[in-house]
A and B are shown apart, each in its own frame.
Chain A
Amino acid sequence: MPNWIINFLARNTPSCKEVIQLISNSMEQPLSLQKRISLQFHFLICKWCSRYQKQLRFIRNILGRNPEKVGENAPGALSQETKERIKQALRPPK
């Protein structure tokens, strides 16, 4: 891509800092056409922001499809003592 186009796009699209906020917003609610277009132009000249978007979508997909995996591999367990205490609380009062 010729330099003048890159410079033109760099001046006329939002900064990376703004772009990544827009990327996140687009995962909450559809963006206006104008914002979508400025994102696409920014991606043309910025591989880092394109990667950023790809990676955020990747995180969303992998979590959304496997919500139980996060907890399964987490450290942490109830101590035997706590388990007994909870069981005690669950017994009907005498």
Chain B
Amino acid sequence: MVSERAINRKPNEAAPSSDPETWVEMHGDALYRFALLRLRDPKLAEDAVQETLLSALQARDRFLGQASERSWLIGILKHKVIDYFRKISRETLIEDAALFEEEMEGVFDENGHWKRDETGPCEWNADPEILLERKQFWIALYGCLSKLPPRMAHVFSLREIDGVSGEQVCEALNLSASNLWVLMHRARMQLRQCLEIHFFGRKKDKQ
């Protein structure tokens, strides 16, 4: 059993212990959530956590403690997730596009303009410093990310959360630059709209 303190340790404090079984207690849930957001499937996410810890076990000697144990493990997991997406490659692209079209129907008029205040973005009263501390905001954000079609969600998380460069994302996922731009555009548009409806308090006009 691991003490409460050890579980609540901040991720940026390097952990003195590197006993693989305590990794499960200390980082297991964080790794799982990281994987679940990207892979969307609990079973796949569990497998990714297990594979990550097994790889970590083998590479333990190379962990020198410059990074925290948590970010070291997350780094390994990131690669596992990319490997998975590389394997399934293009299959989901078409499906994503259909889901997006459905979501965005009726946003623009016949000339491609917002229908004024009816569908145009509304003012967000957002002070970043305050939002940061609001748990509700992060829950809404997570919910909206989870609603993106899988491929879009993945590309978006790699770019905007994990800070991977566009070239690297294209290379890893076998996408052309213009594929990537379309996916990013759609992800941003859908995420923005979802946040506006579910957090910034806009009424959903259609329906």
Q: Mark B99-116, 1 if CB is under 8 A from A, else 0.
A: 000000000100111101
Given A20-B189, A51-B123, A61-B128, does the pair A28, B53 have CB atoms closer than 8 Å?
no
Q: Mark A1-34, 1 if CB is under 8 A from B, else 0.
A: 0000000000000011110110011011100000
Q: Shortest distance in angstroms between B61's beta carbon and chain A's nearest beta carbon?
A: 15
Among B42, B163, B192, the residue within 8 A (CB) of A52 is B192
Q: A86, B49: Cβ atoms under 8 Å? A: yes
Q: Shortest distance in angstroms between A29's beta carbon and chain B's nearest beta carbon?
A: 7
Q: State which residues 65-94 of A face B: CB under 8 Å.
A: 66-78, 82-83, 85-87, 89-91
Q: A28, B28: Cβ atoms under 8 Å? A: no
Q: Compute how far the CA of A59 lies from the CA of B28 in the bound complex, rounded to whole angstroms.
A: 28
Q: Shortest distance in angstroms between B16's beta carbon and chain A's nearest beta carbon?
A: 18
Secondary structure type dominating chain B contacts: helix
Q: Shortest distance in angstroms between A45's beta carbon and chain B's nearest beta carbon?
A: 10
Q: Which residue of B lies closest to A29 (CB)?
A: B166
Q: Compute how far the CA of A2 lies from the CA of B91 in the bound complex, rounded to whole angstroms.
A: 51
Q: A73, B142: Cβ atoms under 8 Å? A: yes
Q: Mark B163-207, 1 if CB is under 8 A from A, else 0.
A: 100100000000001001110110011011001100000000000
Secondary structure type dominating chain A contacts: helix
> 25 pairs across A/B with beta carbons < 8 Å?
A15-B111, A15-B112, A20-B185, A25-B185, A27-B188, A28-B177, A46-B113, A55-B196, A58-B124, A59-B160, A59-B191, A62-B128, A67-B162, A69-B132, A69-B138, A70-B37, A71-B37, A72-B138, A75-B33, A78-B24, A85-B50, A86-B24, A89-B53, A90-B21, A90-B54
Residues of B at under 8 Å CB distance from A?
11, 20-21, 23-25, 28-30, 32-34, 36-37, 42, 46, 49-50, 53-54, 57, 108, 111-114, 116, 120-124, 126, 128, 131-132, 135, 138-139, 141-142, 145, 160-163, 166, 177, 180-182, 184-185, 188-189, 191-192, 195-196
Residues of A at under 8 Å CB distance from B?
15-18, 20-21, 24-25, 27-29, 46-49, 51-52, 55-56, 58-64, 66-78, 82-83, 85-87, 89-91
